[in-house]
C-alpha cells in the first residue's frame, strides 16, 4: 500500500508539472506580439506614372556679338511617362520620358527679327529619389539627377536657315508626392527643374550666327501612379 501511495503521488505530480508547462506555453503564445502586416504594395520594386506635363521655359539666351540680344521660347503641355525602380522602401531611381517642341524667337535688341525657328526636343532624365514613408498613404519624395536633351526636327523661319541646337547634358532637381488610393493605384503631383543651356547656331540671310539658349525649364506635372 505504501508503494501504491508513492506511485500515485508521483503520477499526480507529473500531471501537475505537465499542466503547468502547457499553461505556460499557451500564455507565452497568447502574449507574443502579432506578426507584422505585410505591405503588399512594397513587394514589387516597379512603379509607373502617366502625367500631363507643363513645360515652362526661361526666356533667356543671346546671340554672340550682338549687344542686348535675347531669346524667348514657347511653353507647351505634353504627356509624359516615367518608370521607377525601388531599391529599398526609401530609395528609388526614376527614368522620365517625354518629348515636346519649342518655338524660338528673337528678344531684346533683336526682338524685331521675330521667329528664329522651331525644334523638337527629347529630354530623357534619370533621378535618384528619397521617398518618405512615415505619412501613410501620403508619400512625398525629393530627387536629383542628370538630363541629356536631344534636339531634332529643327527648322529655321523666314530669313533664318540651318537651325542647329546642340544636344547637351544638364542637372535635374525634383520634388513631388504620391497619394495612394489602394495598394496599386494613386495620384501624383511632381515638379522638376532642368538646367538646360545648349549652344546653337543658325544662318541669317546666309551669315552665320551663334549663341546660347538658356531654356532651363520647369516641368510641372500631375497624373496617375500604378505600383505593381
DSSP codes joined into one string, 90-123: SEEEEEEE--EEEEEEEEETTGGG-EEEEEEEE-
| Confidence class for position 20, pLDDT limits 50, 70, 90 | low
Q: In a 3-state reduction of DSSP, which class is residue 136?
A: coil
Predicted TM-score (pTM) of the model is: 0.79
27-80 pLDDT per residue, tens: 455 554 444 343 544 569 999 999 999 999 999 999 999 999 999 999 999 999
| Beta pairing partners, 92 | 86, 129
152-168 pLDDT per residue, tens: 999 999 999 999 999 99
120-150 pLDDT per residue, tens: 999 999 999 999 999 999 999 999 999 999 9
Q: In a 3-state reduction of DSSP, which class is residue 66?
A: coil
Amino acid at each position: 500500500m505504501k508503494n501504491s501511495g508513492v506511485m500515485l503521488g508521483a503520477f499526480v505530480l507529473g500531471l501537475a508539472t505537465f499542466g503547468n508547462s502547457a499553461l505556460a506555453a499557451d500564455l507565452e503564445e497568447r502574449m507574443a506580439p502579432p506578426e507584422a502586416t505585410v505591405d503588399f504594395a512594397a513587394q514589387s520594386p516597379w512603379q509607373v506614372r502617366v502625367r500631363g506635363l507643363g513645360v515652362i521655359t526661361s526666356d533667356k539666351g543671346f546671340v554672340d556679338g550682338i549687344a542686348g540680344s535675347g531669346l524667348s521660347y514657347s511653353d507647351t503641355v505634353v504627356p509624359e511617362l516615367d518608370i521607377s525602380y525601388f531599391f529599398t522602401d526609401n530609395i528609388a531611381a526614376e527614368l522620365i520620358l517625354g518629348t515636346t517642341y519649342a518655338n524660338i524667337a528673337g528678344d531684346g535688341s533683336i526682338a524685331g527679327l521675330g521667329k528664329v525657328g522651331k525644334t523638337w526636343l527629347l529630354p530623357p532624365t534619370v533621378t535618384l529619389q528619397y521617398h518618405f514613408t512615415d505619412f501613410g498613404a501620403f508619400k512625398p519624395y525629393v530627387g536629383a539627377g542628370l538630363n541629356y536633351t536631344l534636339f531634332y526636327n529643327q527648322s529655321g523661319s523666314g530669313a533664318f536657315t540651318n537651325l542647329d541646337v546642340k544636344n547637351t547634358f544638364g542637372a535635374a532637381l525634383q520634388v513631388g508626392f504620391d497619394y495612394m488610393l489602394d495598394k496599386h493605384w494613386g495620384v501624383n503631383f511632381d515638379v522638376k527643374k532642368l538646367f538646360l543651356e545648349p549652344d546653337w547656331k543658325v544662318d541669317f540671310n546666309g551669315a552665320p550666327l551663334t549663341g546660347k539658349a538658356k531654356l532651363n525649364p520647369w516641368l510641372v506635372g500631375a497624373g496617375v501612379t500604378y505600383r505593381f
